[in-house]
Structure 1
Amino acid sequence: MSEKLSFVNPTANSPWGTYLSQVDRVVPYLGPLARWVETLKRPKRALIVDVPIEMDDGTIAHFEGYRVQHNMSRGPGKGGVRFHPDVTLEEVMALSAWMTIKTAAVNLPYGGAKGGIRVDPKKLSLQELEKVTRRYTSEIGIIIGPHTDIPAPDVNTNAQIMAWMMDTYSMNVGGTATGVVTGKPLHLGGSLGRVKATGRGVFVTGREAARRLGLDLRGARIAVQGFGNVGSVAAELFAEAGAKIVAVQDHTGTIVNTNGLDLAKLVPISRTDGVVGFKAGGDIVPNEDFWNTPCDILIPAALEGQLTADRAKKTTAKLVLEGANGPTVPEADDILAERGVLVVPDVICNAGGVTVSYFEWVQDFSSFFWDEDEINVRLDRIMMNALNQIWDTADKHKIPLRTATYAVACERILMARQERGLYP
């Protein structure tokens, strides 16, 4: 935790550098609370763990894992766990910080946390994947818990992995602790509506943003980068509202159809073969061409740092909906603002997932579960209330939605920090 590189000198356009730049931009709007702003620039706690397992062939493999708790002034840490070969401590730090902002932006009683293992899960057997998950959970078990830090699914993790994490933690504490993770299978305390929640949040905030812009969703052209649970669900909901999904990109490539892609056929094919498996439904184009495909709404729902300055100059979109965490670098933000492109930032746009995770956590403690209609009504109300308050702040100060989101969130976080004081 004493490494200055992580806190002070992040690499250019790195996730942590992007986050720090976003915090710096909001300082003028924090008033007397600005004296506490360094709190937001330093994670509360970062844990690096070795994850050794015996592989199926009898060899011993070691993987590096992380769990970062950025800020817990408003409640337990909350944030996903990703399994990816490119995971780094700096990335996890940024993701945990964005979770701090996100939970405060929608006014959930949480702080921000994030975890990850540097591993390619596609190269592991199911048995090896379970071993990695359980060993990692045991290693971070000293800092997670239903009242301290609650993991959830993220990139390359799912309900099964959450079930293994919950079981491992439960065995170590000597009793079933369903509330230690969210995103679990339904019969283990999971919540209805959780799988589609993030994509639904993107749609709900996007629908309101389009209405305020005077952009009719009927016939609107939409390009989606990333076609997992977030991108595909958002695409389906926009299509149901009458929009045309004209371009989709995932890890296999990019497919374009200016007349609109047939999602009923594309979605199931993408689950097994990726979007390029839908050869009959559109044209396969180079990945970079995705960014200049004519569209009205752009949804980056893949990984962070995808919407660069050059790509911001290319897009024809009037509205950007950040389904991913940190997809737009600061220079691109400035270019989009200059071009009059409205950006609904990640920390509000994709907060549907953590909101329904909160519902799941509450349901686990009460052992009383809601139906999906009630969950969706509650989700829509929380998302709309949060967005409207942020929009009012943006209009009041004549600032972008991202800065307004950070102003609202940081005020809540730093007010909690100030009122709690410093101990000892």
Structure 2
Amino acid sequence: MTTPLISLTWTDHVTGLRGFLVVDRLVRGVSSGGLRMREGCTADEVAGLARGMTMKEALHYNPEGRYIPLGGAKGGIDCDPRDPRAYGLLVRYLRAVRPYVECFWTTGEDLGLGQDLVDRAAVEAGLVSSVQAVYPLLDDERAARRRLADAFAVEVDGIGLDELVGGCGVAESVLAALDRAGVPYAGTRAAVQGLGTMGGATARFLTRAGLTVVAVADIKGTIVNPAGLDVEALLAARDAYGTVDRSALRPRDRELPGDAWLSTGAEILVPAAVSYAIDAVNQEAIDARWIVEAANMPVLPEAEELLAARGITVLPDVVVNSGTNAWWWWTLFGDIGADAEEAFAYTRRSMRALVEQMLARADADQATPRAAAHAIAADRLPVIAERFGWYR
């Protein structure tokens, strides 16, 4: 991994807890990457995520599009988001890094932090917006900001469009892999770890495509039904952290321990919660054909090597969960409008093309999909730097 452009550690003067910011690369002086909050967050974790954002931006580079890829960055705060001190800590963190957000780091929701909370804290910290650094790159800032605000106001079945597009992209990645392998959707089973924004939307889109979700896991454990779970009922029974109220379970739904989602007979596993969820030990329990990384960095490298040796394919996070970030910029730059059907159609088309390109490259190079995705990004980064420059 290359050395990041900027890496800093902040210590909160009130709690002694720490936060991190890593800017991996700039394009036209701007970078993009969310802000996460979780107990145990580290500088190395944030650096890895920032590098992943650089690749996500490059992978969505379209020379014909209005969206200009940005550099990659990430922020992280080492605190449980349920801690009563968390919001004050978030505000103080944003005040501390305010010059970076104002000038060259665009950020937003990530693990442990919803966009509404980030927006509220940003205002309290004295910021115009968490993405204000990108405003100078826009042709018409006022129209672009209105378009993005309108898009965030769009709801589908009572759920915000911003909470759905990422899961739409993950589900389309699954469907593209199934189509390439000639596997029908009907009868294909999926297990999802995490029923928050990304996991919940993924489960919804997979079910509506005809797959059967047989297991979901949250902080309380795993809910299993080999005949298929009622995904819509579980989504309606979630709290703000994606934890399902068990009173909503049906008689044939069973509760199992937390790691049971790894071995429920599903062909598709979707880790959509924390990083480092699958390691060299628990990978032995996996009997799926595909692991689709809706979370950031959920499969450790040593685990991925062992999985590959067993014929289990990992579809990497840098491709699979890149739809949310891309949707922000497609909307802000004007490639799409504030419309749900247009957003879903554009997301599906873009994600399918990217997954198919990655899998074709993997076959040609006799490499893993992750190595293929990294190779595609490596091809594009010099082109982006030559066209747009790092700082200008």
Q: TM-score range by the shorter chain?
A: 0.7 to 0.9
Q: What residue is the counterpart of 1:341 in the other structure?
A: 312
* Cα drift, residue 123 of structure 1: 2.2
User: In the alignment, what sits opposite 1:314?
Assistant: 285
Aligned residue runs from structure 1 range 155-170, under 5 A? 155-168=111-124
Question: Which residue in 1 is equivalent to 2:157?
Answer: none
In the alignment, does 2:87 pair up with 1:109?
no
State the alpha-carbon separation in 2 of the partners of residues 153 and 345 from structure 1: 20
SS at 1:204 equivalent: helix
1:263-282 correspondence to structure 2 within 5 Å: 263-271=231-239, 274-275=243-244, 277=246, 278-280=248-250, 282=253
* 1:225-257 deviation per Cα after TM superposition (whole angstroms, max 9, x unaligned): 111111111111111122111111111111111
For 1:217, what is the secondary structure of its paired residue? coil
Aligned to 1:50: 11
1:70 equivalent to 2:30? Answer no
2:220 pairs with 1:252: yes
Match of 1:36 in 2: none
Amino acid at match of 1:202: V
Deviations 1:170-225 (CA, angstroms, capped at 9, x unpaired): x46xxx4574289x999956534321121111001110101111221112111111
**Aligned partners of 2:110, 2:32: CA distance in 1, in Å?**
12
Deviations 1:115-140 (A, max 9, x none): 1222223121xxx5543333211111
CA distance in 2, matches of 1:149, 1:97: 14
> Cα distance 1:196–1:186, how it changes in 2: closer, same or farther (>3 A)?
farther
Residue in structure 2 matched with residue 149 of structure 1 by the alignment:
105
- Identify the residue that residue 140 of structure 2 maps to in structure 1: none
Structure 1: gaps spanning 5 or more residues:
1-39, 53-59
Give the equivalent residue in structure 1 for 2:158: none
> What's the counterpart of residue 99 of structure 1?
53
Once the two structures are TM-superposed, the CA of residue 294 in structure 1 deviates from its matched residue by 0.8
Given residue 162 of structure 1, which amino acid in structure 2 is its aligned partner? V
Is the Cα contact below 8 Å between 2:30 and 2:133 reproduced in 1?
no
Q: Which residue of 1 aligns with 2:40?
A: 86
Q: Are 2:363 and 1:403 aligned?
A: no
Q: Secondary structure at the match of 1:309?
A: coil
C-alpha distance after superposition, 1:16-75 (max 9, x if no partner): xxxxxxxxxxxxxxxxxxxxxxxx4211101222334xxxxxxx5343221111122476
Note if contact 1:130-1:164 (Cα within 8 Å) is conserved in structure 2. no
Deviation at residue 78 of structure 1 after TM alignment: 0.9
Between the aligned partners of 1:373 and 1:310, the Cα distance in structure 2 is 42
The AA in structure 2 aligned to 1:86 is: G
Find the aligned partners of 1:298 and 1:75 in 2 and give their Cα distance. 38
Classify 1:280/1:403 alpha carbon distance in 2 versus 1 (closer, same or farther; 3 Å): same
Task: Give me the identity figure in percent.
Answer: 28
Contact 1:159-1:185 within 8 A present in 2 as well: no
1:258 to partner: Cα distance = 0.8
CA distance in 1 between partners of 2:87 and 2:258 (Å) = 34
Q: Secondary structure at the match of 2:239?
A: helix
Distance 1:259 1:49 in 2: 49
> How many Å separate the matches in 2 of 1:154 and 1:422?
25
Cα RMSD of the aligned pairs, angstroms, is 2.9
Could you tell me which of 317, 323, 328 is aligned with 1:352?
323
Cα distance in 1, alignment partners of residues 121 and 151 from structure 2: 13
Between stretches 196-205 and 268-277, larger displacement belongs to 268-277
1:122 counterpart residue number: 82
How do 1:385-396 residues align onto structure 2 when only pairs under 5 Å count? 385-396=353-364
Q: Distance in 2 between matches of 1:187 and 1:103?
A: 19
Distance across 2 between alignment mates of 1:329 and 1:118: 20
Flag structure 2 segments of 5+ consecutive residues without an equivalent: 62-67, 135-144, 155-160
CA contact (8 A) 2:108 2:130 kept: no
What is the match of residue 200 of structure 1?
168
| Number of aligned residues | 365
Pair 322,139 (structure 1): closer, same or farther in 2 beyond 3 Å: same
The normalised TM-score by structure 1 is 0.78
191-200 or 258-267: bigger deviation: 191-200
Please state how far the C-alpha of 1:112 moved relative to its aligned partner. Answer: 0.9
Q: Which amino acid aligns with 1:164?
A: R
> Which moved further from structure 2: 275-284 or 136-145?
275-284
Change (3 A) 1:262 1:64: same
* 2:348 corresponding residue in structure 1: 380
Name the amino acid aligned to 1:274.
Answer: T
Q: 2:147–2:332: 8 Å Cα contact kept in structure 1?
A: no
Paired residue type of 2:3: R
What is the CA deviation profile of residues 70-121 of structure 1, one whole-angstrom value per residue up to 9, with x for unaligned ones? Answer: 1224762111111212111111111111111122122261111111222223
Q: Give the C-alpha shift of residue 381 in structure 1.
A: 2.2
Distance 2:390 2:271 in 1: 39
1:180 aligns with 2:132: yes
State the alpha-carbon separation in 2 of the partners of residues 129 and 330 from structure 1.
31
What code does the residue aligned with 1:138 have? R
Give the Cα–Cα distance (whole angstroms) in 1 for the partners of residues 60 and 236 of structure 2. Answer: 32
Classify 1:244/1:369 alpha carbon distance in 2 versus 1 (closer, same or farther; 3 Å).
Answer: closer
Task: Name the CA shift for 1:217/1:133 in 2 (closer, same or farther; >3 Å).
Answer: same
Q: 1:42 to 1:190 in 2, by over 3 A?
A: farther
Q: Which has the higher helix share?
A: 1
Matched, 1:137 2:94: yes
The separation in 2 between residues aligned to 1:185 and 1:97, in whole angstroms, is 30
